[in-house]
Amino acid sequence: MQTSANPSLSKSNVQKITPKQPVRVRRPSREEALEAVRTLIRWAGDDPDREGLLGTPDRVVRSYQEFFSGYDDDPVALLQRTFEETDGYDEIVLLKDIRFESHCEHHIAPIIGKVHIAYLPSNRVVGISKLARLVEVYAKRLQIQEKMTAQIANTLDEVLQPKGVAVVIEAAHQCMTTRGVHKPGVAMVTSRMLGVFRTDPLSRREVLSMIGTPAAGSTQNV
C-alpha cells in the first residue's frame, strides 16, 4: 500500500467533521402522537373514525418507533469494543452491500439503498456486525444521504483511528420517484474518503475497485 508524498494532500489539510449527537427534544406523549396521525388523516380528506382507519394511528406510531429508533443509540459507544489480535493484518477491510432503509428529512419519504464501508486498520479492527449496526443507527433517523455518508465515515475514523476510511452509498429516494418530478429508476451515489483513501490515488482506486460500484468514477465526494 503506497502513500502520497504530496504535502498539499496531507491528512491535516482534510476537513474533519466531528459526528454530533442529535439534538434532544421533548417527545410528545403517545396520545399526542396518535392524535397527530388522526389530524393528518382528516387533513387528507378521510375520517379517522371509520372502520378501516380506526387502527391506523396506532400502527403509524409503532412504525415511527421502528423507523426512527436510531435516535436512541450512541454510534460511538457501539464501536468501542475493538480487537488487536490481527496477526499483523494491514490490508483493507470491506463490508459491501449493506442494505438500509431511511427517511428523507424533507418529506419523510423512504430512502432505500446500500452502503459500502471500508477501512485500512492501523492496529485495531471492529466486528463486522458493528459496521452494519453503525449504518442502522444513522439510517434510522431523519436523513439526507450526504450527511449520512459523512456521519458513518467520520464516526468510524474517530473511534478506530485507522489509516483510511471509505464510505460509498447508493440509494433511491422516493421523495423524487413517487412525488415531485416522478423519476423512478434514478440512484444517487455519494462517497466520503478519509486518510489514505483521500490522499493516495492508488489506494483510492483499489478500494473503489473492491467495491465495484458502476458509479465509482463519478461519486459525489462529501
Catalytic residue ranges: 104-107, 145, 173, 175
According to DSSP, residue 12 is labeled G
d(CA 152, CA 98): 12
Nearest alpha-carbon partner for 82 in 167, 191, 158: 158
Neighbours of 82 (CB within 10 A): 15
Q: Which three cell numbers stand for residue 5?
A: 508524498
- As a whole number of angstroms, the distance between CA 164 and CA 120 comes to 5
E strand or H helix at 29: none
